[in-house]
């Protein structure tokens, strides 16, 4: 139907390696990009800065975790700890007077160094053992943050983030902060899109799928797993720093605690391992659903005239939200991204349906 | 056949194995195996199931380093070198049970064969348009030559999971060839193929030697193929060498007949 490759002809390898070969996909991407640019003029600043901005930053973070878990196939349960390293290093650097551009870079590099050092040790184990080792990293980081006032910011363990600025220009307006998040998310997305058509992406998938076959092609799996951890930690670090400087405005240990690590992993899995669109959808579902379900339940209770206790009202949405994740994963284990891909694949071959599996 | 037939010429052999022994616990999988593969040769390796053919291959490619013996690649000792480094030295192989990457297209699978010529990294990916694209295109051209050579044009954008096994074997051969190896190790490339597919594959192996200058170590059960295209061969049984030489002579050796068909028929 409107998804189709009819009339698309490639006469060079450059045009054959386009990111979006299907015209309909390309149009959709341009549409959403323009929508993203125009968002401050379309959405009230309350929604812009309390929903869309964190969603975009978390999406960037989820894409980073997807690099390790979706592409390289390594379970990572300490991702929030890596984000914390970036956030704290960047805020400390900014407090020290370093411009934010470099502070973000320092945050990313600090995360990258600590993440890879840890991975260097952890990657000697595989599968569930690796998952547990990364979980250990999370606990080490939690402990460091709660036990070292110099890092965490005094006895209250809260660290005020200096005013965000780029190119010497203070950014305080809602729209300005939104554009910072939007820009970062777009950058990370472009990187991940390019990963699908370069040797690095292929090598990572090879390591994930069959490491012995990767080895015989000259792919050093230990090295490429390490590269995946380093790159993903960089993305995590900068995302953590942007999250603190444009959304939370102060850094506290509980923002990067173990439950956050689990939450990011949930975003990756619900969205779809190795899916870029899925990372957007997964982050949206996990971030926004609790609020939406909550409102639906209180609305429903009001309509039916039920007098639900405040505690029941607090707990039912949690259960519903959990059930929702289970249902999504039962319908499509490969996540929300795959749900979209199924529709797209069907439309691609319409009016036939031989691709339906 | 017009390939070199004699062994022991003055040239440095592509591959030389001296007294290889590999045990798994108490089981001796390969012992005392010598092998010398000259440049431009197609060398057959035969033997019943469990005779140590694949173990020998795994010893050469670094998966199971031998406990005794030496492996020389172009005169250079590579005993115990890690598989990914052996690949970088110009050894490519295919697997008995196929080792293609499912979920990737045929083209991406073959492009992975170019890995040792690409050295991909994060910076290169991040600056795709400036650093990665020229390299990707250059390597794509090499890959397309091999796709053309092995007649895979029509399926290059198919997912590799969905194509028939005969084509999968061909894709794996393509992936090995694009690495531009000196030594190509083919582990049963014709298993499960019909006569027509076998003839295609045999022709591709001969053409690969003639056009791309590779030397081939060929593991096969089909004796007609071994006799048809191999210059020399080695027969193994229970991990030991039982005969070696020119295929037509080796297959008349009573020990080979006994190992393959059974003692009662050995007359």
- Residue corresponding to tokens 């950058």: A187
pLDDT grade, residue A316 (50/70/90)? confident
The residue in chain B having the minimum alpha-carbon distance to the alpha carbon of residue A187 is: B126
Residue B38: name the closest of B73, B13, B57 by CA: B13
CA distance A247 to A55: 11
pLDDT above 50: residue A17:
yes
Q: How far off is chain A from B83, nearest CA to CA, in Å? A: 6
Classify residue B216 by burial, with Cβ atoms within 10 Å: 0-12, 13-18, 19+: buried
Classify residue B158 by burial, with Cβ atoms within 10 Å: 0-12, 13-18, 19+: middle
Count of CA atoms in the C-beta half-sphere (13 A) of B203? 9
pLDDT tens-digit series, residues B34-53: 999 999 999 999 988 888 99
pLDDT above 60: residue B9:
no
- Predicted confidence at residue A170, as pLDDT, reads 84
CA distance A312 to A301: 11
The domain locations on chain A are: 22-257
CA distance B13 to B39: 6
CA distance A254 to A261: 11
Q: How far off is chain A from B132, nearest CA to CA, in Å? A: 7
Q: What DSSP state is assigned to residue A164?
A: P
* Strand segments (E) across chain A: 159-160, 165-166, 169-170, 250-251
The answer to whether B138 faces chain A, any CB pair under 8 Å, is no
pLDDT tens-digit series, residues A64-85: 999 999 999 999 999 999 999 9
- End-to-end distance of chain A based on CA atoms, in angstroms? 19
Q: How far off is chain B from A342, nearest CA to CA, in Å? A: 15
CA distance B78 to B123: 32
Characterize the bridge pairing of strands B15-24 and B68-73.
antiparallel
CA distance B225 to B221: 8
Length of chain A: 357
Structure tokens at A41: 């003029």
- Residue corresponding to tokens 């934010």: A100
The answer to whether B255 faces chain A, any CB pair under 8 Å, is no
What percent of chain A stands above pLDDT 70? 97
Q: What DSSP state is assigned to residue A48?
A: I
The answer to whether A11 faces chain B, any CB pair under 8 Å, is no
CA distance A86 to A104: 8
ipTM above 0.90, yes or no: no
Position with higher pLDDT, B122 vs A6: B122
The answer to whether A159 faces chain B, any CB pair under 8 Å, is no
- Predicted confidence at residue A353, as pLDDT, reads 66
CB contact under 8 A, B113 and A205: no
CA distance B226 to B246: 10
CB contact under 8 A, B124 and A200: yes
Which three-class secondary structure state does DSSP give residue B248? helix
CA distance A62 to A78: 13
Structure tokens at A213: 């076959």
The residue in chain B having the minimum alpha-carbon distance to the alpha carbon of residue A219 is: B84
CA distance B169 to B187: 10
pTM confidence score = 0.90
CB within 8 Å of A296: residues ≥ 6 apart: A317
What percent of chain B stands above pLDDT 70? 94
pLDDT tens-digit series, residues A36-60: 999 999 988 888 988 899 999 999 9
Characterize the bridge pairing of strands B215-219 and B183-187.
parallel
pLDDT tens-digit series, residues A178-196: 999 999 999 999 999 999 9
Is residue B113 within 8 Å of residue B175, measured between CB atoms?
yes
- What residues of chain B, 153 to 192, have a C-beta less than 8 Å from chain A? 175, 179
Is residue A270 within 8 Å of residue A335, measured between CB atoms?
yes
CA distance A87 to B130: 31
Q: How far off is chain A from B249, nearest CA to CA, in Å? A: 34
Backbone angles phi, psi at B71, to 5 degrees: -120, 120
- What residues of chain A, 288 to 347, have a C-beta less than 8 Å from chain B? none
Over range B165-169, report the average pLDDT. 90
Q: Rounded mean pLDDT of chain B?
A: 89
Position with higher pLDDT, A312 vs A115: A115
pLDDT grade, residue A348 (50/70/90)? confident
CA distance B184 to B178: 11
Backbone angles phi, psi at A159, to 5 degrees: -120, 115
Question: Residue A216: which of B93, B101, B104 has the nearest Cβ?
Answer: B93
Residues of A in contact with B115 (CB under 8 A): 199, 202-203, 206, 217-219
Give CA B16 to chain center in angstroms.
15
CB contact under 8 A, B125 and A200: yes
Q: What is the DSSP string of A234-285?
A: HHHHHHHHHHIIIIISEE-GGGGSHHHHHHHHHHHHHH-TT-HHHHHHHHHH
pLDDT above 80: residue B6:
no
Among B90, B108, B112, the strongest candidate for a mutation testing the A interface, having the largest count of A CBs within 10 A, is B112
């Amino acid at each position: 139907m409107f998804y189709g490759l009819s009339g698309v002809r490639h006469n060079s390898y450059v045009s054959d390696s386009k990111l979006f070969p299907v015209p309909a996909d390309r149009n959709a991407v341009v549409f959403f990009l323009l929508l993203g640019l125009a968002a401050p003029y379309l959405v009230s600043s309350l929604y812009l800065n309390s929903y869309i901005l964190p969603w975009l930053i978390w999406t960037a973070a989820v894409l980073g975790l997807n690099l390790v878990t979706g592409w390289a196939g390594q379970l990572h349960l300490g991702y929030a700890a890596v984000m914390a390293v970036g956030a704290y290093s960047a805020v400390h650097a900014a407090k020290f007077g370093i411009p934010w551009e470099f502070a973000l870079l320092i945050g990313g590099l600090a995360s990258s160094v600590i993440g890879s050092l840890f991975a260097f040790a952890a990657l000697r184990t595989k599968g569930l053992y690796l998952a547990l080792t990364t979980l250990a990293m999370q606990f080490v980081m939690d402990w460091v943050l709660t036990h070292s006032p110099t890092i965490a910011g005094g006895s209250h363990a809260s660290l005020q983030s200096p005013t965000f600025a780029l190119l010497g220009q203070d950014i305080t307006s809602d729209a300005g902060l939104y554009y910072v998040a939007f820009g970062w998310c777009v950058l990370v997305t472009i990187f991940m899109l390019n990963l699908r058509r370069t040797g690095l992406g292929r090598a990572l998938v090879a390591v994930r799928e069959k490491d012995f076959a990767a080895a015989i092609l000259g792919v050093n799996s230990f090295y490429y797993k390490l590269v995946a951890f380093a790159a993903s930690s960089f993305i995590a670090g900068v995302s953590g720093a942007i999250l603190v400087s444009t959304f939370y405005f102060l850094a506290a240990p509980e923002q990067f605690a173990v439950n956050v690590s689990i939450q990011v992993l949930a975003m990756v899995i619900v969205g779809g391992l190795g899916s870029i669109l899925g990372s957007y959808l997964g982050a949206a579902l996990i971030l926004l659903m609790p609020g939406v379900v909550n409102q639906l339940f209180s609305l429903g209770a009001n309509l039916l005239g039920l007098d639900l206790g405040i505690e029941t009202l607090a707990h039912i949405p949690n259960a519903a939200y959990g059930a929702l994740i289970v249902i999504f994963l039962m319908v499509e284990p490969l996540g929300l991204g795959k749900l979209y891909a199924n529709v797209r694949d069907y439309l691609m071959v319409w009016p036939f349906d031989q691709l339906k599996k | 056949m017009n390939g070199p037939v004699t062994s022991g010429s003055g040239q440095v052999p592509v591959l030389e194995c001296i007294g290889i022994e590999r045990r798994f616990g108490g089981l001796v999988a390969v012992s005392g195996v010598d092998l010398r593969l000259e440049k431009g040769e197609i060398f057959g390796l035969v033997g019943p199931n469990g005779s140590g053919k694949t173990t020998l291959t795994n010893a050469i490619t670094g998966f199971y380093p031998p406990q005794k013996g030496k492996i020389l690649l172009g005169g250079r000792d590579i005993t115990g070198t890690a598989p990914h480094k052996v690949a970088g030295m110009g050894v490519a192989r295919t697997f008995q049970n196929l080792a293609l990457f499912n979920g990737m297209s045929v083209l991406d699978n073959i492009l992975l064969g170019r890995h040792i010529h690409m050295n991909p990294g994060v910076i290169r990916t991040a600056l795709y348009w400036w650093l990665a694209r020229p390299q990707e295109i250059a390597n794509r051209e090499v890959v397309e030559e091999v796709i053309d050579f092995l007649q895979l044009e029509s399926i290059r954008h198919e997912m590799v999971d969905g194509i028939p096994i005969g084509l999968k074997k061909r894709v794996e051969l393509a992936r090995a060839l694009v690495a531009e190896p000196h030594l190509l190790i083919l582990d049963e490339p014709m298993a499960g193929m019909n006569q027509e597919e076998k003839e295609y594959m045999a022709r591709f192996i001969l053409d690969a030697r003639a056009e791309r200058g590779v030397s081939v170590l060929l593991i096969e059960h089909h004796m007609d193929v071994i006799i048809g295209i191999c210059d020399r061969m080695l027969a193994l049984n229970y991990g030991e060498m039982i005969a070696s030489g020119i295929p037509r002579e080796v297959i008349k050796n009573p020990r080979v007949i006994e190992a393959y068909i059974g003692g009662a028929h050995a007359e």
